[in-house]
Amino acid sequence: MPMYEFSCNNCKADFELLMRGSMKPVCPECKATDVRKKLSVFGMSGISKQTSSRSNCGSCHKSSCSSC
């Protein structure tokens, strides 16, 4: 089921709901049905494959440095 974000036009609460098909959103705070769907964004998480070209000490550009 997709997750949608809503804003209540009655009490101004923002909330998220898992919505299925023809379900009608209801504000969990005031139980109003006068709500509007907000533009949602999504995030992604995972393991980054990017590595830094600088060492922790900043005096060299090797990935491991014996002078650090």
Residues in the chain, overall count: 68
| Res. 65 pLDDT band, cuts 50 70 90 | low
Quote the number of domains for the chain: 1
Residue 7 lies in a domain: yes
Residue 53 within any structural domain of the chain: no
The verdict on residue 21 lying in a domain is: yes
Distance CA 20, CA 44 (A): 23
Tens-digit pLDDT profile for residues 27-40? 999 999 999 999 87
Question: Is pLDDT at 64 greater than 80 in this prediction?
Answer: no
Look up residue 23 and give its DSSP letter: P
pTM attached to this predicted model: 0.57
Would residue 67 count as lying in a domain? no
**Pairing mode, if any, of strands 14-18 and 3-8?**
antiparallel
